[in-house]
């Protein structure tokens, strides 16, 4: 296992900077994912750690020692490539065992005819075979040792590439988008396998991907990159719940966060489409802001519904995407609001969205993310005392200030909480 440190790593190609002063500390045994859009510099960074690409400035340390002067095979790291990089003429056994053969056999013991005369080679090859079989059994590909890469599925090729890395017993695994060539179903399966593999080995993993689902589901920490810099690093939940800026908020989360224009009112509150929210921001009156609302933080209700502590936006359904257990609804906001909002709804939404008058979108102001005009998160916001007070509404106590999921008719009691149904006009 290894601790990997990056000190002020910068890289330029022909005068064009692609990495700018990267500082990163990956703990021993940690699973860290570098995530970002194509061209953000994440693959270049992992190649610099591996020694496949020299940095323009800065230093790479493994277990506290600089490794900038070492060649890739001397750094005790193993790389798993996006394209698998398997030798098509070699069988699975030879592909996995090749690193051991290159490191343990001398030149003469690798020559086609002379190697047959070496007793030492036979002894070393028996050791290599034992190690290869142990790794392939762990990856459940021990029955494929005599096949060539062309005879394997995408998932099997990926396991062979992993086996070739594992057999070296590296101090750290470096993985450059290893699942991007697989179909959707196989990617889900391989995500689980990689996470379980990390748990079994306890080795440092540095993983590169453009898929935020992979980053969120497998990692101990996630580093979000953009334009050659790290925008935010933290636990997956930190990037989702407290994005440092608009770019992180828009990239993390599926579907993407809803962004609405807002400003600071004369009273110091956040104003959205002319209505003041119970959120105070320490900014001058009139300051432009952006309000972010996650699709899953929005509750649908009949038009005219009110709920203590929740803010309402009127809208009309434009389009529905059926994902099986849930629907993604694209809703056009109506006057006084404007724009389009996406929300996710479990179950049947027809009773609400079929109303020709439209529908109500309810959300808790405390679930909003506030960003300044430059896109930076505003942390010095506070909820008004009225919004923070405990609600007397039985639905709010039972369901966290959301509508009763049973939606009884007005005046009828709600079975789970015993309170009245949502108030409708």
pLDDT in tens, 178-199: 988 888 888 888 899 899 999 9
- For residues 141 and 8, state if they share a domain: yes
Does residue 409 belong to any structural domain of this protein? no
In this prediction, residue 375 carries a pLDDT of 94
Helices and strands in the chain: count of H runs, count of E runs:
12, 21
Across 318-329, average pLDDT: 88
- Which comes out higher in pLDDT, residue 390 or 141? 141
* Both structure tokens of 25: 């500390």
pLDDT (0 to 100) of residue 184: 85
Confidence (pLDDT) at 20: 96
pLDDT band, residue 33 (cuts 50/70/90): very high
Domain boundary among 209, 231, 250: 250
Structure confidence at residue 287 as a pLDDT band (50, 70, 90): very high
- Is residue 420 one of the residues assigned to a domain? no
Q: How does pLDDT run across 236-258, given as a tens digit for each residue?
A: 999 999 999 999 999 999 899 99
Residue 1 is predicted with a pLDDT of: 72
Mean pLDDT of 201-217: 94
Q: Structure pTM?
A: 0.83
pLDDT 10s digits, 102-156: 999 988 888 887 777 788 888 999 999 999 999 999 898 999 999 999 999 988 9
pLDDT band at 84 (very low <50, low <70, confident <90, very high): confident
Are residue 240 and residue 161 in the same domain, yes or no?
yes
The pLDDT of residue 190 is 87
Domain membership of residue 360 (yes or no) is yes
**187 & 325 share domain:** no
Burial annotation 66-92 (CB, 10 A radius, 16+ → b, else e): ebeeeebeebebbbbbbebebeeeebb
Please list, in sequence order, all residues whose beta carbon lies within 8 angstroms of the beta carbon of residue 96, skipping any fewer than 6 positions away: 132, 135, 136, 160, 163, 164, 167
Percent of the chain residues topping a pLDDT of 90: 65
CB 287 within 8 A of CB 310: no
Q: What is the pLDDT of residue 313?
A: 93
Domain count, the chain: 2
When the pLDDT of each residue in the chain is averaged and rounded to a whole number, the result is 86
Provide the domain limits for residue 341.
255-399
Residue 269 and residue 211 share a domain:
no
318 and 380 share one domain: yes
Q: pLDDT tens digits for 331-381?
A: 999 999 999 999 988 877 776 777 767 899 999 999 999 999 999 999 877
The reply to whether 66 and 174 lie within a common domain is yes
pLDDT band at 261 (very low <50, low <70, confident <90, very high): very high
Q: Are residues 220 and 316 in the same domain?
A: no
Mean pLDDT of 265-277: 93
Q: Which of 224, 250, 276 is the last residue of a domain?
A: 250
Calculate mean pLDDT across residues 390-397. 40
Q: Categorize the per-residue pLDDT at 304 as very low, low, confident or very high, splitting at 50, 70 and 90.
A: confident
Note whether 225 and 280 are same-domain residues: no
Q: How does residue 282 score in pLDDT terms, banded at 50, 70 and 90?
A: confident
Residue 303 has a pLDDT of 84
- Asked if residue 360 and residue 289 are part of one domain, the reply reads yes
Residue 414: inside a domain:
no
For residues 235 and 313, state if they share a domain. no
What integer pLDDT is reported at residue 12 of this predicted model? 96
Write phi, then psi, for 400 (nearest 5 degrees). 65, 40
CATH number for the domain harbouring residue 61: 3.40.50.300
Nearest to 298 by CA among 321, 281, 276, 314: 314
Q: Which residue has the higher pLDDT, 211 or 401?
A: 211
Residue that is written with structure tokens 């190690």 in the block: 131
**Quick one: tokens of 292?**
């972010």
Q: Tell me what pLDDT residue 205 has.
A: 96
Percent of the chain residues topping a pLDDT of 70: 89
Predicted pLDDT of residue 383: 63
For residues 152 and 223, membership in a common domain is answered with yes
CATH number, domain at 359? 2.40.50.140
Strands (E) in 296-399, as ranges, are 299-302, 311-322, 326-333, 340-346, 359-363, 369-371, 381-383
Question: pLDDT at position 384, please?
Answer: 55
């Amino acid at each position: 296992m290894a601790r990997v440190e990056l000190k002020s790593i910068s890289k330029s190609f022909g005068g064009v900077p692609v990495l700018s002063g990267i500082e990163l500390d990956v703990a021993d045994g940690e699973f860290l994912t570098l995530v970002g859009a194509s061209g953000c510099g994440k693959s270049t960074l992992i190649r610099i750690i591996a020694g496949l690409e020299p940095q323009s400035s800065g230093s790479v340390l493994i277990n506290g020692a600089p490794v900038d002067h070492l060649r890739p095979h001397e750094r005790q790291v193993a790389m798993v490539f996006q394209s698998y990089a398997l030798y098509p003429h070699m069988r699975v056994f030879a592909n996995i065992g090749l690193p051991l053969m290159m490191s343990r056999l001398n030149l003469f013991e690798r020559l086609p005819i002379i190697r047959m005369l070496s007793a030492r080679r036979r002894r070393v090859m028996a050791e290599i075979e034992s190690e290869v079989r142990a790794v392939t059994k762990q990856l459940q590909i021990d029955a494929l040792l005599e096949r060539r890469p062309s005879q394997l599925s995408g998932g099997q090729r990926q396991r062979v590439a992993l086996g070739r890395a594992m057999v070296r017993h590296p101090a750290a695994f470096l993985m450059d988008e290893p699942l991007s060539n697989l179909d959707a179903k196989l990617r889900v399966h391989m995500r689980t396998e990689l996470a379980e593999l990390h748990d079994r080995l306890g080795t440092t993993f540095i993983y590169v991907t453009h898929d935020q689902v992979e980053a969120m589901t497998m990692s101990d920490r996630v580093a979000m990159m953009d334009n050659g810099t790290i925008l935010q690093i933290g636990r997956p939940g930190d990037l989702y719940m407290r994005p440092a800026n608009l770019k992180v908020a828009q990239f993390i989360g599926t579907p993407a966060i809803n962004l609405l224009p807002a400003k600071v009112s004369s009273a110091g509150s956040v104003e959205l489409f002319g209505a003041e929210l119970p959120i105070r921001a320490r900014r001058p009156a009139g300051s432009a802001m952006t309000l972010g609302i996650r699709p899953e933080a929005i509750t649908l209700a009949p038009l005219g519904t009110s709920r203590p502590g929740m803010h309402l936006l009127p809208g009309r359904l434009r389009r529905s995407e059926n994902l099986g257990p849930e629907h993604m609804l694209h809703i056009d906001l109506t006057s006084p609001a404007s724009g389009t909002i996406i929300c996710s709804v479990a179950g049947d939404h027809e009773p609400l969205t079929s109303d020709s008058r439209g529908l109500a979108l309810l959300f808790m102001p405390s679930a909003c993310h506030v960003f300044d005009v430059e896109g930076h998160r505003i942390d010095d916001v506070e909820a008004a005392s009225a919004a923070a007070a405990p609600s007397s509404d039985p639905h709010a106590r039972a369901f966290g200030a959301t509508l009763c999921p049973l939606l009884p008719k007005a005046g009828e009691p709600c079975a789970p909480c015993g309170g009245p149904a949502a108030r409708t006009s």
